[in-house]
Structure 1
Amino acid sequence: MDTINVGVNGYGVIGKRVADAVRAQPDMHLVGVADIVTDWRIKSAANRLPVFASTSEAEQAMQEAGLTARGSLDDLLEQCDVIVDTTPKHVAAGNLPRYQAAGVKAIVQGGEAHETTGHSFVAQANYTTALGRDSTRVVSCNTTSIVRVLGALDDAGLLLRARGVLIRRATDPWESHLGGIMNTMVPEPVIPSHQGPDARTVLPGLDVVTIAAKGAHTQTHNHYWTLQLTRRASRDEILDALRAAPRIAFIRMSDGLVALNSTIELMRDLGRPRGDMWEVAVWEDLLTVDGDEAYLTYQVYNEAIVVPETIDAIRALTGTTTDPAASIRRTDESLGMRHDFLTPEHP
């Protein structure tokens, strides 16, 4: 298989970003995107991408709205090796039998349960276990960040246990007019919150507990971690472990990156498409180590962080790249990912 033919079902926050990332890969071809909507979201896609209708009702509605669909979801599947389902939570689980019947490998997102595919995916942690599978689940934005950061420390033999507090954004920015949280914070009703157990679907041995709340903002999540180390360690050892891992980038309060909005503005200044940040942004100058304990905080751009994982999952399912590091490197280079946003990258 020289080129992987990929379709995207669901052209929303994640779907549109995955579609563009697929187009940036030299070994992939975007066959098209499918959806049920007929508003500005799919009309903007129709100006530059092949659009398909996810249902027969949607095909009729698109025609009435002046949109010409290239065909149905089944027509899209006939041309695909892999379908990336980025439909709303729980919809993908119902779509899986359709993908299986078409003989197309499928990737679902973190809104689905682990049991939907029986495999959850973060490239740096378990790429090889996805090789050749029929389907996998790319875990949620917060879980992806947990596996990246805590997994890096675990790989270095430094992490014994982790306890984290997550301040989540209230809703996606484009939906903020529909409702949200104003002048308050809403704790999740159970402890631990779901992110810790979800991380163990990728790293089963991880000793992690998370507590979460929704804040009155719409862009990005913020994590605070108290880490019990396996031994006394220096601050440089922790930093070196994080630097050795992919898709973690450093930011600093001393550079004026003092709040979530300042990092978002930096992404725009760097010319990132849609202002996206695919990396976990760790505040380097806030990392504190005291004997065998470490404390850190980082920022998670929920709209984009799972995109590179999805690209790697495509290669893993098809088996076109068997080396995790090779796929990660290829993805990261194509997207222009960084280890430090303000320091020039060395070749």
Structure 2
Amino acid sequence: MRIRTPETRIRVAVVGYGVIGKRVADAVALQTDMQLAGVADVATDWRLQVAAALGLPIFAGDAASLASMRSVGLPVVDTLENLLQQADVVVDCTPKKVAAGNVPRYRSAGIRFILQGGEKHEMAGHSFVAESNYAQALGHVATRVVSCNTTSIVRTLGALRRAGLLLQARGTLMRRATDPVDGHRGGLMNTLVPEEKVPSHQGPDAKTVDPALDVVTMAVAVPQTLAHVHCWNVRMTRAASLDEVLAAFRTSSRIALLRSSDGLGAINVVKEMMGDLGRPRADLYEVGLWEDLVTLQGDELFFTYMVDNQAIVIPETIDAVRALACTQPDGATSIAATDRSLGIPLPASVRSGS
């Protein structure tokens, strides 16, 4: 694979300016090797009004939305087709299944594209988590950044596997009911809803990134909106010490070891700390794994962590842009650059075991 080093920055288009899209756009703007070509949407509500207030180049998803967006005073440049002509890579952050209609447009435009985890693996033919398979994505036409929960699974189990400790993993996921911004639109109240089959989709999805994983997941939707929580039982290849296990987790810059004994025993407190540390929107890009809950019984390992589903896929998406654009051949170098731009890891003073 010939690595391209462009004289200019990678021009990135973001389609869908919602929960994920606005975060991707902000992250792109922080990269010294990238430029935000524009954001495209079909909405005319406050989200696009904020984009306009921020001075972002706004494009309409189609001709009909171009007219409606301009009718409310949004400074729309042109349609998505025009944006695609100005970009090197497009990141589709539209709601689940909407991307299926956009993919033919990307292929017709001859542009490399990134999908999010709500879409099927087959739509891109490749699924991505930077620490596991960055090199495999180099020069691909398309990839799919897997879902928030799947990303967390690949990060944590991948760290154990690289340390030679992982044999098989069984996990239970408590999935938040919806995004905070949609909490007023209905959802779970005073109930829990188990997913209807075992395994839930996250385990098989993790295998699209790392086929060697022996993983089974179960999931339950719960009536809160802050974050997901995972509880894992891992069978290791041998009995290991706590220090060995924690050392394995520390090999990932995108796993933050937290301590409930520091007052961080609940997801709302962790999110509060992210805001106090100045993280945009109180985002936790890392897997927040409770170090003092890690338990060993012979060759069995038990651990619990939280997943900020609005944030965890953002660094992965930035790395995927570099991989598809073929501007950085080394995954570790890309990860380090992305981490620096987003303030990963947490300051040493609030990280356990640093």
TM-score when scaled to structure 1?
A: 0.98
Residue 176 of structure 2 corresponds to which residue in structure 1? 169
Q: Give 2:310's aligned residue.
A: 303
Correspondence 1:37 to 2:34: no
Does structure 2 retain, via aligned residues, the 8 Å contact 1:167–1:214? yes
Match of 2:26 in 1: 20
Indicate how the Cα distance of structure 1 residues 32 and 345 shifts in structure 2: closer, same or farther if over 3 A, else same: farther
* Structure-1 separation of matches of 2:126 and 2:31: 24
Q: Compute the TM-score of the two structures, normalised by the length of structure 2.
A: 0.96
* Superposed displacement of residue 342, structure 1: 3.9
Q: Could you tell me how far apart the structure 1 residues matched to 2:194 and 2:352 are?
A: 39
Within the candidate set 80, 92, 114, 2:87 is matched to: 80
Q: Percent identity?
A: 58
Q: CA deviation at 1:239?
A: 0.1
Aligned mate of 2:207, from 189, 200, 205 = 200
Secondary structure of the equivalent of 1:71? strand
Match of 2:333 in 1: 326
Does structure 1 conserve the Cα–Cα contact (< 8 Å) formed by 2:253 and 2:344?
no
Letter in 2 for 1:42: L
* Corresponding position of 1:6: 12
1:269 paired residue number:
276
1:345, 1:251 → 2: CA distance? 6
Select the residue among 157, 164, 174 that pairs with 1:157: 164
Q: Is 1:233 aligned with 2:240?
A: yes
Q: Closer, same or farther in 2 for the Cα pair 1:115/1:8, shift >3 Å?
A: same
CA distance in 1 between partners of 2:304 and 2:346 (Å): 16
| Aligned pair partner of 1:143 in 146, 150, 166 | 150
May I ask how many residue pairs the two structures share in their alignment?
347
Q: Tell me the alpha carbon deviations over residues 241-272 of structure 1, each in whole angstroms, 9 at most, x when there is no partner.
A: 00012200011111001111111111111111
Q: Aligned to 2:255, which of 229, 234, 248?
A: 248
2:119 matched to 1:98?
no
Q: Deviations over 1:211-253 (max 9, x none)?
A: 0010010111000000100001001100000001220001111
- What CA distance in whole angstroms lies between the structure 2 residues aligned with 1:22 and 1:345? 29
Alpha-carbon displacement from aligned partner over 1:174-224 (angstroms, at most 9, x marks no partner): 011111111111101111100000000001010000000100101110000
Are positions 1:64 and 2:71 aligned together?
yes
Q: 1:340 to 1:157 in 2, by over 3 A?
A: farther
Gaps of 5+ in 1: none
| Of 298, 301, 305, the match for 1:291 | 298
Rounded Cα–Cα distance in structure 2 between residues aligned with 1:267 and 1:21: 17
Relative distance call for 1:339 and 1:163 in structure 2 (3 A) is: farther
Structure 2: state its 5+ residue gaps.
1-5
Give the residue type in structure 2 aligned to 1:41.
Answer: R
Q: Does 1:107 align with 2:114?
A: yes
